[in-house]
Structure 1
Amino acid sequence: MHVARYNYRDQFGEDPTPLMRQVSEMLLAGRYILTGEVDGFESDFAAFLGVKHARGLNSGTDALTIALRACGVTQGAEVITQANTFHATVAAIRLCGARPVLVDAEERSFSLDARQLAGAITPRTRAVIPVHLYGQPAPMGAILAQVRDGRIAVIEDAAQAVGARIDGRPVGSLGAAACFSFHPSKNLAAAGDGGAVATNDGDLDRQVRLLRELGQDGQNHHVVVGLNSKLDAIQAAVLRYKLPRLPEWNARRREVAAAYRERLANLPLRFQHVEPAEEHVYHLFQVRTDRRDDLLRHVRAAGVDAVVRYPTPIHLQPAFADLGWRKGDFPVAERLAEELLCLPIRPDLTRDEIDYVADCVRSFFRGR
């Protein structure tokens, strides 16, 4: 059996004809940039998150970069984030001219260790970026409690966690702004790249709009130095078509994760810890073992499309060598990079596929 990570056909339902017809009409009519389709998706997405504003952008990376700039992060500022995030989180900080300040991950949740946050804050700190990693909400209450003076913006990196909740509140509605990715691998996937910034702050939303549209406030009137980073209208149509099914897909991902946990119980594996108030959406299902690389080879040989994400932590990446980080600076992030393995998880994963993946993992530890 082959168990794949993705099944794009299933995301379009039994009859994608209406969407195909709409895309065809858009192509022929020249509806490409900042059309009604984009306005409609932005409105629906803001309502889904329970926020006042959402702006579609070219990618999740651009969302982070533009959100930081809209919050006033410039040359010489410091921005705190976690050491076990994806490259884009820290790259966006550098692209703004700011200095990234890393804190280590928490051992059980794999999220930013909020206990280390206070020690990382300096007079130059202008933002904190908690990452809702793998679909798990970051400890937002503990983070927000440490930055109440308004000097430091909390920008949620929700690229992997669209639809996740804390105490019933959607991630993306808790900080000054939130950034999303619609990369094809994500729970809400475009047919290519896409991203968004969401916020309840009207002034911040205006800055995001200016920054994504070449700094224009009206045709040919450029008031800031902006980017050209707009969500394509066709991508907006695809995302708007899929959005109503996202809660169902996320619920199904939780069911698959629960089945994995049950079938892999009593093995020398650890899972990402989830608090009762947190609603994980399992963009990735991670198992943790000090025999990770051997397990990966074993299950892939059996046709299971498992994968390692972020095998080299941020502080050891060549792109950030000039910042002076060294091996041993963030030991939890280093251990996670060496021990985490993603098993396939999709909303349409069948019982037979789940059982097969679990049997492959169990056979590895039983020496068969």
Structure 2
Amino acid sequence: MKIPFGDLKRQYDQLREPIDRATQEVYSSGWFVLGQHVQRFEAEFATYCGAMHGVGVGSGTEAIHLALLACGVEPGDEVITVSNTCVPTLSAISFAGAVPVFVDIDETTYTIDPARIEERITSKTKAIVPVHLYGQCADMDPILEIANRYGLVVVEDCAQATGAKYKGRMAGTMGHAGAFSFYPSKNLGAFGDGGLVLTNNATIADRVTKLRNYGQEKRYYHAIKGFNSRLDELQAAILSAKLPYLDQWNDRRRQIASRYDQAFSSLNVVCPVEAPDRVHVYHLYVIRVPQREQFQAFLAEKGIGTIIHYPVPVHLQASYSEYRDQGTYLPITEQQRRDIISLPLYPELTDDEVDYIIHTVVQAMTASSAIADC
């Protein structure tokens, strides 16, 4: 059996009719940028999340970037975040001219550890960007308490957590702004790049709306310096067609994750932990195993695709080498990267495929244990 790590064609095959209808509407309208489909999706997504404002932008990276600017982050300001994230989180901070300050993670959820934030705050700190990693929200209440006490901005990186909840609140609605990615592989994915800034603050929403379109407040009148970062009509129409299925897809992800949890509970495997009062939407199912390279090779031989999220923390990347010395504060981040690996988990996986993945993982770990015993 061949099971790729992801297969976006399966989702299109299941939704061919509504997606084709949505795209045909755009073609027929003759309007392709910042039109009625973007406005409709912005309103629909904000309503889904329980927020007042949604502003579509060009990508998840730009959502973080423009949200930071809209919240008043300026060049030279420090922004607290994590190093175990996809590089775009840091790209956005760099685009804003800010300086990343890394905080270590909780050992079980892999999200930012609130207990370690205060020691990293300086007079230059302006914002915190908690990353809701792998589909689970960071521990937001203590983060928000610290931010409030120090007068800091909070921009949630929700790229992997569309539909996730924390104590009944939706990801992206707890900070000053939430930044979403609709990259095709996300839980709610477009057919290209796309992003959105969610906020309950009208001033932030208005500023992002200007920033995404050259600072324009009406055609050819530019109130501030801005950028070209617009969610296009085609992607918005596709996202509107997909949005009604998001909860169903997330439920299926949770079902598969539960099956994995149960099957691997007796193995030498560290499974994901859904923290109390949170709803994990399992954008990724990340486990920790000994002898990861052998484990990955075994699954590959059996036709199962896997990926490591992420093999190199940002502070150890060549492009961010000036922050390498911050590793002193990141022992858990550096340790966990050595044995994490992501298994296939997407709604279109069949029960037979899930059975096969489980059977193969059990085989791999049994073989690994036998070698270790020798």
C-alpha distance in 1 between matches for 2:201 and 2:210 = 14
Q: Which runs of 5+ in 2 are unaligned?
A: 369-374
Question: 1:80 touches 1:125 (CA, 8 Å); kept in 2?
Answer: yes
Cα 1:205/1:334, change in 2 over 3 Å:
same
What is the alpha-carbon distance in structure 2 between the residues aligned to residue 244 and residue 251 of structure 1? Answer: 13
Per the alignment, residue 111 of structure 2 pairs with: 111
Gap change, CA 1:333 and 1:15, over 3 Å in 2: closer
For the 8 Å contact 1:67–1:197, the answer to whether it is kept is yes
Quote the Cα distance in structure 2 between the aligned partners of 1:72 and 1:140.
21
Compute the displacement of 1:276 (Å): 2.5
Q: CA deviation at 1:143?
A: 0.7
Residues 62, 331 of structure 1: CA spacing in aligned structure 2 closer, same or farther, 3 A cutoff? same
Q: Give the conservation status (yes or no) of the 8 Å contact 2:160–2:187.
A: yes
| SS in structure 2 of the partner of residue 79 of structure 1 | strand
Report what 1:358 is aligned to: 358
CA distance in 2 between partners of 1:367 and 1:149 (Å): 52
Q: What root-mean-square deviation, in Å, do the aligned CA atoms of Structure 1 and Structure 2 show?
A: 1.5
Cross-structure match for 2:226: 226
Post-superposition CA distance 1:144-191 (Å, at most 9, x none): 111114721111000000000011111111000000000011000100
Instruction: Name the counterpart of 2:367.
Output: 367
Distance 1:49 1:15 in 2: 23
Which amino acid counterpart does residue 257 of structure 1 have in structure 2?
A
Give me the TM-score of the superposition, normalised by structure 2: 0.95
Is the 8 Å Cα contact of residues 102 and 326 (structure 2) preserved in structure 1? no
- Offset, 1:10: 3.8
Q: Which amino acid aligns with 1:143?
A: I
Match of 1:78 in 2: 78
Shift of 1:326: 6.0
1:348 aligns with 348
State the 1:272 CA deviation: 2.3
Identity among equivalent positions (%) equals 38
The offset of 1:354, in angstroms, is 1.1
User: Which residue in the other structure is 1:61 paired with?
Assistant: 61
Question: 3-state DSSP class of the match of 1:325?
Answer: helix
Structure 2: distance between partners of 1:21 and 1:116: 49
Q: Letter of the aligned partner of 2:172 in structure 1?
A: G
Read off the aligned partner of 1:8 and give its amino acid letter: L
Structure 2 letter corresponding to 1:128: I
**Does the residue aligned with 2:197 lie in a helix, a strand or coil?**
strand
How many aligned positions are there?
368
Indicate the SS of the match to 2:286.
Answer: strand
Cross-structure match for 2:289: 289
**What is residue 96 of structure 2 aligned with on the other side?**
96
Aligned partner of 2:257 in structure 1 is 257
One-letter identity of the residue aligned with 2:269: L
| Partner secondary structure for residue 367 of structure 2 | coil
Distance 1:107 1:234, change over 3 A: same
Matched, 1:17 2:17: yes
Could you list the runs of 4 or more consecutive aligned residues of structure 1 that deviate by over 3 angstroms after TM superposition?
12-15, 326-329
The answer as to whether partners of 1:316 and 1:325 remain within 8 angstroms in 2 is no
Contact 1:11 1:242 in 2 (8 A): no
The more displaced of 198-207 and 344-353 is 344-353
1:261-317, CA deviations, whole angstroms, 9 ceiling, x for partnerless residues? 111121111122222311000000011023212111110111011111210111101
Q: Distance in 2 between matches of 1:95 and 1:14?
A: 38
Q: Distance in 2 between matches of 1:138 and 1:280?
A: 11
Give the structure with the larger helix fraction.
2
The corresponding residue for 1:194 is 194
Equivalent-residue separation in structure 2 for 1:36 and 1:351 (angstroms): 39
In structure 2, what is the Cα distance between the partners aligned to 1:245 and 1:28? 25
CA distance in 1, matches of 2:218, 2:189: 31
Q: Which moved more, 1:83-92 or 1:45-54?
A: 83-92
* Alpha-carbon contact 2:184-2:190 (below 8 Å) kept: yes
The question of 1:134 aligning with 2:131 is answered no
Give how far 1:8 is off: 2.5
1:266 pairs with 2:275:
no
1:48-102: per-residue Cα shift (whole Å, max 9, x none)? 1100000111100111110111011111100000121111111111111111000
